[in-house]
Structure 1
């Protein structure tokens, strides 16, 4: 359900390894309508080859009924890029800005170049302006023959903002959101955790994430922000429409609108064209088109197409046109309070009957977790839900007891109810003394207390 609502942007990261088998742990993530990182899925992999990454993406596409993401953000791994080209070739691929900045520092060894490269990467230049700025920077630091600089320039359409403007990435420029998830999972997963423990702890980590998401949802639904800008009608409509986090971002755009002034307004047959300038920035100009018939606003900065919220230049047009509400054409559903509405959770009847007990347990946990959230808002709903949960738990407990009794009577061990799921891998027996008496016939060494140095049996009597 999360992927159906927010799967337009996919973050694919493989830098995390946390199990005693040292296997790569892949996190497939996105960003929710509360601008919080959400996990679509994860995978423990045997290796990091193109075939393995291809399998991961194919399994993801199968799980989400073939819904392809619009954009993908990765850390730049070559085999991962090849898998993306094979499975989701039409998705726009972006390289992680954080990894690029780190690589610039490693390969150029010039701190000033790294800083300028990081700034140039995010500058909203036109393509011609970017190419000129890049040439000047490379010449300034004398890196014309640096192999990494030449290679990264060939890939500029995957990292330079000038080439990525207008492509939807929902504010995701790097895989650092997943790096943050790595640190988050560290609270739950130890380096030497076993496989069956790993799955259980991973589930606990996801449960904590969903609690945080529910908290943000509750804050949006049960509180209203204080209105602070002069454009009170637009601000109020945004507060009613967007989640709290997105509303805060839009309010900053309203604040920036105060620096703009209309340089020229051109009346055409089907639209008005506005040319804006910025206070104390005479070289900065923007063109915004307002289509009267459909109330559509398009800005040359393409922030709405890239991020999904109206820019300050579009807000300036709304003010000039005396609009009291944000036009529907300037609202992206994924950022609204109703970002998840219309996407139903799969019912058990839609899911294969071959599911294990662990999978059924997970699906039911998710369903009842959502019910618990809504029922917890009032005391009456809480009491009703608790009573219903008690009754259905008692009923299911009797069913399980009856099945267990029947299976024991008929002697069918294969259908006896048991906890299915992931078991631990087999531990290879080591060579040498398996324990007990040594090969030299000597008795085992007496264990002594670390404090009093008495033997274990003597110490037990003394205590």
Structure 2
């Protein structure tokens, strides 16, 4: 239901790795009508290849009844980009601004360039103005032959605001929402968590998120914001329509409208054109076309197309045209109080076609758990429910055995029943020698003898120590050999095998 209502923008991030198996943990998220992060799903992957990411996106589309997002925000991973182009080629792809700024600092090593690059990346301007500013910046810092600068310029339509303006991204420019979720999941997950615990802890984290969203929902439904602007009718209508957070953003646009003034108003055949200026900024002008027949507007800033709330220039036209409420064509369902109302839960027949054996097991367990609760209150009901359960279990067992016999004709006949479809992968060692290298990627130091410091043996097999012991033993027949500089128990500790962590 969340994806049906808010799945138009998808954030796809794989920077989180915290489990006992050292596997990438992918979070698929979006933005709810309260402007809060909502989790559509997650995936624990074996690797980060294009084939694996393709599988993730295909499973997501299959689980969400084929609905595809109109825009995706990623951290710029090459395999991820290839998977997006293969599965959802028509969506608009945006690269994370935070990762780009970090890469600029790493690849160019000029702090001033990083600052100018970040400002130009988020600058709202025309495409030709952006191209001129980029050429001037590259020339200023003499980066005409820098490979990273040349490569990132070829991808400018995926990160420059001048190229992305007018495409819906729900106010997201980076994957920081998902990375904020990573920090949030740290409360519930750690590197010692096993797979069966991992899923339960993940569900706990989602439950806490839903409690926070329910609190925000309750505040929206049971209180009314304070109206503070002169455009009281428009402000009140917005307060009735939008959630608290979206209303505060719209209220900010009303305040910005106070700086605007009409430069000219031109009457056309079927519409009127307004040109606005801004107080103390005479060079900044905006044009809005207003069509009174169907009460529609189009602003040159394209903020409504990018964020789907009316901009301050549209509000100025509403004031000039004496509109008492926001036109319904500029009220997007995803930002309203009833953002999920049109998204009904799918029927059980639709769900069952794509369910895995594990999910079906969980659904049936929940159904019979509820039945058991009601049947346990009376002896007669208990006996009847138990008899029916025995009969149904016997029937399902026969059906299962018949299917397995049919499958075993081309395979192994010794097939045991399996209640769950997911098993634990191999646990990765987190202590000692990880695959022949240290944790810093350096080769391990060779082991030396504790007596002669040579490589290849220990004190227990040291020939120099043995010969020294024999000489001292021959010199003192009355006293046993004792070297106070050596720890007689240290060899035993050194020779202990490195047992793996107890899986329990």
Instruction: Identify whether the pair has TM-score above 0.5, normalized to the shorter chain.
Output: yes
Within-5 A mapping of 1:36-51: 36-51=36-51
CA 1:411/1:170 → structure 2, altered by over 3 Å: closer, same or farther? Answer: closer
Distance 2:53 2:396 in 1: 44
User: Which range moved further: 4-13 or 135-144?
Assistant: 135-144
Within-5 A mapping of 1:112-123: 112-123=112-123
Are residues 1:258 and 2:258 paired? yes
Q: Match of 1:351, SS?
A: helix
Q: Tell me how far 1:89 sits from its aligned partner.
A: 0.5
Q: Confirm or deny: 8 A CA contact 1:27 1:178 kept in the other structure.
A: yes
State the match for 1:33 in structure 2.
33
Deviations 1:160-192 (A, max 9, x none): 000001111111111000000111111110112
Deviations 1:305-327 (A, max 9, x none): 00010000000000001100000
Distance 2:18 2:390 in 1: 41
Distance 1:139 1:255 in 2: 40
State the match for 2:374 in structure 1.
394
Distance 1:427 1:221 in 2: 47
CA RMSD of aligned residues (A): 2.9
Distance 1:322 1:91 in 2: 38
Within-5 A mapping of 1:218-367: 218-352=218-352, 355-356=356-357, 358=359, 361=362
Q: Tell me how far 1:346 sits from its aligned partner.
A: 2.2
Unpaired runs of 5+ residues, structure 2, are 402-415, 429-488, 490-504
Deviations 1:25-75 (A, max 9, x none): 111111011111111111111111111111111111111121111001100
CA 1:402/1:249 → structure 2, altered by over 3 Å: closer, same or farther? Answer: farther
Q: Confirm or deny: 8 A CA contact 2:124 2:162 kept in the other structure.
A: yes
Q: Tell me how far 1:213 sits from its aligned partner.
A: 1.4
Distance 1:314 1:362 in 2: 49
Within-5 A mapping of 1:4-19: 4-19=4-19
CA 1:362/1:286 → structure 2, altered by over 3 Å: closer, same or farther? Answer: farther
Deviations 1:66-118 (A, max 9, x none): 11110011000011111111111000100000100110110111111111111
Distance 1:66 1:271 in 2: 39
Q: Tell me how far 1:347 sits from its aligned partner.
A: 3.3
Q: Confirm or deny: 8 A CA contact 1:404 1:417 kept in the other structure.
A: no
Q: Confirm or deny: 8 A CA contact 1:196 1:422 kept in the other structure.
A: no
CA 1:286/1:28 → structure 2, altered by over 3 Å: closer, same or farther? Answer: same
Distance 1:361 1:159 in 2: 43
Q: Which has the larger radius of gyration?
A: 2
Unpaired runs of 5+ residues, structure 1, are 368-388, 429-444, 446-463
State the match for 2:99 in structure 1.
99
Distance 1:180 1:59 in 2: 24
Q: Confirm or deny: 8 A CA contact 2:5 2:334 kept in the other structure.
A: yes
State the match for 1:210 in structure 2.
210
CA 1:363/1:402 → structure 2, altered by over 3 Å: closer, same or farther? Answer: closer
Q: Confirm or deny: 8 A CA contact 1:297 1:329 kept in the other structure.
A: no
Q: Match of 2:344, SS?
A: coil
Q: Match of 2:298, SS?
A: strand
CA 1:419/1:111 → structure 2, altered by over 3 Å: closer, same or farther? Answer: same
State the match for 2:499 in structure 1.
none
Residue-pair matches, total: 408
